[in-house]
Structure 1
Amino acid sequence: MNITIVGTGYVGLGTAIMLAYLGYQVTGLDSDEGKISSLKAGALPIYEPGLDDLLQAASPNLRWTTQYSDAIPDADFIFVCVGTPPLPDGHPNLQYLEGAVRSIAQHLDGKPQIIVNKSTVPIGTGDWVLRILEEHAALYATSHYEVVSNPEFLREGTALGDSLYPDRIVLGGSSWATGQMRTLYAPLIEQSFEAPAHVPRPRGYERPAVVETTLTSAEMIKYSANAFLALKISYANEIAGLCECVGADIHEVAAGIGLDHRIGTRFLAAGAGWGGSCFGKDTSALITTGQDYGYSMPILRAAMTVNERQRSLVIEKLQKHVRLLKGKRVAVLGMAFKPDTDDLRDAPAHDFILRLGRLGATAVAYDPVAMPRARREWTHLHYVEAVSASAALAGADAVIVATEWSEFRSLNWEEVLATMRGRVVIDARNIIREPLAAPAVLEQIGREQPQSAFLPASGLAAVKVGA
């Protein structure tokens, strides 16, 4: 089977390399000539742990091109993995998808070919794609072209494990098309491939569930799953706020409720809220879809409101201790929206840096991976780059932990606090689990820390710990 992947972003690259590793001949297609040149040279345009090693292993089965004429005619399966960013009103922007599908249609060669939509798209997009094919494919009337919705459920930072060992594979389309997809995914379904040494098969993992359904239901599954996870995080953050009011610890509360198998422990971490390319966009898309049909979704709206509030809450905690931020130096640890990725889309750190600048403070930012991407994508922000976490904290009046990188968890806080001027720590990711062994103010989300025996060097009369 020959496979073409249209779009080489986070989803497209991971899909292309995974399928090539499974033994298929895969062509990666992208209009960005710089990106394709880098891939031809073996350089990845994104950061994902272990993806470079899998690329090297799969490279004999991979080729890269910018030409639809070079990638579409011979393909049996054409995966569409282009971006669908949100418009100001919350609807997804489908211009990139429409352009890709039109170009695909113009190069289909008349044999049975399956167009697989992995882009996150509004409900009903599969039928719309079929109409585009009908209008622009020269041999549509005498050929067998099918559209399948095959949403991805990858988490950046763990995308390889999620790809090779999925909990479910969702296939929406006709019975013939989903049957073809079952054949394509047989190595994953049967787990018959040799696991890469750097991405071992999880202990106890057997086979993924396969959900065969309609195009519409598959599209709804993707949106509904992401919106539910966003809702779960916002719920944890709302409970965290009440924990601060009554003196409870959100870690203990989340652990206690998560042990109920009906709820589960995942996505109950309180903090600065969710970011990235999926949760906000997909939740907004569901809300706007409801609006299109005159159907209100107040629970999802509340989830969005709580998430926005969390970002303001972090700055409010900072202002409680550093009254006037004008002229102050504030370190921001972490720029990516989550650890183990360089993805900056909807990252809380962006909002922190923006707000600090408006309040007259100087933001000094450090991220182990995402700083080169930030230089390209955050040119509208004003901040100072630091070469390390310790360099960011040196001379700072306060620090905001914006991303829970393991490097920050293992930071020698006693040592770096001694280099700070103000010693105010706003731990927006709750990574500090023990009392700070140095004079400092520590604020976290939904929990209090046992008080330190030290007094802050900044002149405060007592150590204020927690909310």
Structure 2
Amino acid sequence: MRITVVGTGYVGLVSGVCYAKLGHDVMCVDKDPGKIRILNEGGVPIYEPGLRELIAEVRQAGSLSFGTDLPDAVRRSELIILAVGTPPLPSGEANLAYIDHAALEVAEAMNDRKIIAVKSTVPVGTNERLASLMRSRSAVAFDSISLPEFLREGSAIHDTLHPDRIIIGADSDEAASKMIGLHKPLTDRIIVTDIRSAEMIKYASNAFLATKISFINEIANICEKVGADVSQVAEGMGCDRRIGPSFLQAGIGYGGSCFPKDTNALIQIAGHVNYEFKLLRSVVEVNQDQRFSVIRKLNAIFGGELEGLNVAVWGLAFKPNTDDVRDTPALEIIGRLLDAGAKVRAYDPVALDNFRTLLGREGVTWCGDAMEAAQGTDALCLLTDWPEFAGVDLSRLQAAMARPVLIDGRNVFQEKELLGTGFVYYSVGRPSLNKGVKQPMPALQF
């Protein structure tokens, strides 16, 4: 099948490359000539493990190309996939300006019947509105498909080639059949729905996963007060097949381009139909507060006086194996540290440049490795669970720091690794592992 993918962000680029891997003739189009130049020169404008190598493979096979000429790409293709960004507006609603513009450009270029599939995350009813918009510009017939994506940054290629399920929202049996055929090599678990339900599945899925994260973080906060270990609690919960172990890792909350955007957008969608989504509002509130647990723990250790402290921060991306810093907890945590008068030494294996641009403030020393960041500091805050941090020599780390205070925001270290060290250690929901700040076991009264 000849496919045009509009947009070369995480979703569009990975999707296009994976369709090419299946043997389809794919053209990825973007309005940003800088991105296309990088791709045509063999580079990759985003960090995603394995993506550079897979692009080289499918380009060598002649099944993938990049360009800026959308009308030409539309005319040569049977399937047009819209994968442009829908960033949040200040209200929390999805900004549909980019996808509206792309849809109109596609409509004006269509020369025969096409399938228009929307991979961008859009509010319920958007596909119908886009179809109406396109028909106002073109008399050429087309079929609308909602094709939500469920990839995770850091494992996007695996998630695309080995999906848990494929959701196809269709208003045409013929178009649905073609989409089933396209995705059949990936999985037999293909669910065909109406278009509005497919749009809702995407939001509902991300909202539920965000809910699991906020729930286990609330449990972690209670564990800190009653003397239980959230890691053991989560393991016991996850063995129940009705619950499962995924997204039960306590920490400093979620970030990135999906969960924050999609939870807020779903709250707005509910509001537009006069429904107050109280549960999801609480999920967002809990997540926002959880990232500041790092600051609260530093204040507990240093008596509320952070001014003049040298604080190392390990991890700036919102999660490991990505350079994405959108809505990363590190942004607000470092902001609070700077506001309190602390000096920050920051390191991330791949997201340093993106974060430096995002932060746009003075007062941070940008370091080339983890030990450089820790050198001479009064405290270290671990905010992203990159594998290299778990393998650090804690004795060497302690020697590098002026004061061995370690705030482990991702529960990376275990008790056996901390034995014999002099760290003042504070993790999330594991009070028995805390060192130097351990409170007496509470006298519970029921």
TM-score bucket (shorter structure): over 0.9
The separation in 2 between residues aligned to 1:292 and 1:45, in whole angstroms, is 36
Once the two structures are superposed, the pairs formed by residues 66-215 of structure 1 within 5 Å of their partners are 66-109=68-111, 111-137=112-138, 140=139, 143-174=140-171, 175-189=173-187, 207=188, 209-215=189-195
Q: Do the aligned residues in 1 keep the contact of 2:312 with 2:373 (CA within 8 Å)?
A: yes
Residues 428, 444 of structure 1: 8 Å contact kept: yes
> Which of 439, 442, 449 is 2:422 aligned to?
439
Equivalent position SS for 2:145: strand
Tell me, in whole angstroms, the C-alpha distance in 1 between the residues paired with 2:358 and 2:223: 36
CA distance in structure 2 between the partners assigned to 1:126 and 1:69 by the alignment: 21
Partner amino acid for 2:103? V
- The amino acid across from 2:367 in the alignment is A
Retained in 1: the 8 A contact 2:103–2:134? yes
The one-letter amino acid paired with 2:141 is H
Whole-angstrom distance in 1 between the partners of 2:382 and 2:434: 20
Shift of residue 186, structure 1, vs aligned partner = 2.9
Please give the alpha-carbon distance, in whole angstroms, between the structure 2 residues aligned to 1:354 and 1:102: 40
Q: 1:234 to 1:451 in 2, by over 3 A?
A: closer
Matches of 2:252 and 2:145 in 1, distance apart? 36
Against the structure 1 CA distance between its residues 17 and 466, is the aligned structure 2 distance closer, same or farther, given a 3 Å change threshold?
farther
> In structure 2, what is the equivalent of residue 279 of structure 1?
259
User: How far did residue 373 of structure 1 move?
Assistant: 2.2
User: Please, which moves more after superposition, 62-71 or 72-81?
Assistant: 62-71
SS of 2:280's equivalent in the other structure is helix
How far is 1:381 from its partner? 6.2
Change (3 A) 1:361 1:93: same
Instruction: Indicate conservation of the 8 Å contact 2:2/2:76, yes or no.
Output: yes
Output the CA distance in 2 between the equivalents of 1:8 and 1:57: 18
Distance in 1 of aligned mates of 2:36 and 2:202: 29
Q: Do the aligned residues in 2 keep the contact of 1:441 with 1:465 (CA within 8 Å)?
A: no
| Residue type of the alignment partner of 1:390 | M
1:201 maps to none
**Who is 1:35 aligned against?**
35
Once the two structures are superposed, residues 381-423 of structure 1 have per-residue CA deviations (whole angstroms, 9 ceiling, x without a partner) of 6421111101111101101100000000001111111111121
CA displacement at 1:437 relative to structure 2: 2.8
**Paired residue for 1:459?**
none
Residue 418 of structure 1 aligns to a residue whose secondary structure is helix
Once residues 340 and 466 of structure 1 are traced to their aligned partners in structure 2, the CA distance between those partners, rounded to angstroms, is 35
Could you tell me whether the CA contact under 8 Å between 1:237 and 1:271 is conserved in 2? yes
Partner deviation per Cα, 1:110-158 (whole Å, 9 max, x = no partner): x220111000000100101101111112xx2xx3201100000001111
After TM superposition, the structure 1 stretch with the greater mean CA deviation from structure 2, 67-76 or 156-165, is 67-76
Give the match's secondary structure for 1:325.
coil
- Secondary structure in 2 matching 1:106: helix
Aligned to 1:396: 377
Residues 274-303 of structure 1: CA deviation (Å, up to 9, x unaligned): 001111111111111111111111110110
Distance in structure 2 (CA, Å) of the matches to 1:409 and 1:158: 19
- The farther-off stretch of 161-170 and 428-437 is 428-437
Instruction: State the secondary structure of the residue aligned to 2:136.
Output: helix
**1:371 corresponds to:** 352
Query: What RMSD in Å do the two structures reach over aligned CA positions?
Result: 1.4
Structure 1 residue matching 2:66: 3-state secondary structure? strand
Which of 348, 357, 375 does residue 329 from structure 2 map onto? 348
Partners in 2 of 1:151 and 1:169 — Cα distance?
8
2:22 corresponds to = 22
Once the two structures are TM-superposed, the CA of residue 70 in structure 1 deviates from its matched residue by 2.4
Q: Give the TM-score taking structure 2 as reference length.
A: 0.95
Q: Which residue of 2 aligns with 1:193?
A: none
Superposition deviation, residue 466 in structure 1: 7.8
Deviation (angstroms), 1:326: 1.2
**Is 2:239 the counterpart of 1:259?**
yes
Query: Are the equivalent residues in 1 in contact too, given 2:427–2:433 (CA < 8 A)?
Result: no
Range moving further from structure 2, 68-77 or 380-389: 380-389
- What is the CA–CA distance in structure 2 between the aligned matches of 1:466 and 1:211, rounded to whole Å? 51
Query: How much does 1:350 deviate?
Result: 1.0
Identity over the aligned pairs, expressed in percent? Answer: 44
Contact 2:426 2:434 in 1 (8 A): no
Q: For residue 444 of structure 1, report the CA deviation from its aligned partner.
A: 0.7
Find the residue that maps to 1:430 and give its secondary structure: coil
Cα–Cα, structure 1 residues 248 and 408, in superposed 2: closer, same or farther, change >3 Å?
same
Provide closer, same or farther for how the CA distance between residues 74 and 232 of structure 1 changes in structure 2, counting only shifts above 3 A.
Answer: same
Task: Write the deviation string for residues 311-335 of structure 1: whole angstroms up to 9, x where unpaired.
Answer: 1211111111123211111111001
Instruction: Tell me, yes or no, if the aligned pair for 2:407 and 2:426 is still in contact at 8 Å.
Output: yes
| Pairs within 5 Å for 1:239-258 | 239-258=219-238
Mapped to 2, the partners of 1:164 and 1:384 lie a distance apart of: 40
- How far apart are residue 258 of structure 1 and its match? 0.7
Note the residue ranges of structure 1 that are not aligned, 5 or more in a row: 190-206, 453-462
Structure 1 residue 451, shift from structure 2 partner: 6.6
Does the CA-based 8 Å contact 1:449-1:466 persist in structure 2? no
Equivalent residue of 2:345, what SS? strand
Residues 464 and 119 of structure 1: CA distance in aligned 2, closer, same or farther (over 3 Å)? same
The secondary structure found in structure 2 opposite 1:72 is helix
Separation (CA, whole Å) in 1 of partners of 2:45 and 2:438: 42
Residue 209 (structure 2) aligned to one of 229, 247, 250: 229
SS of residue matched to 1:34: helix
Task: Check the 8 A contact 1:83/1:96 in 2, yes or no.
Answer: yes
Distance in 2 (alpha carbons) for counterparts of 1:156 and 1:381: 29
Counterpart Cα distance in 2 of 1:98 and 1:133: 9
Instruction: Specify the alignment match of 1:204 in structure 2.
Output: none
Q: What secondary structure sits across from 2:5 in the alignment? A: strand
- Matched residues in 2 for 1:420 and 1:368: separation? 20
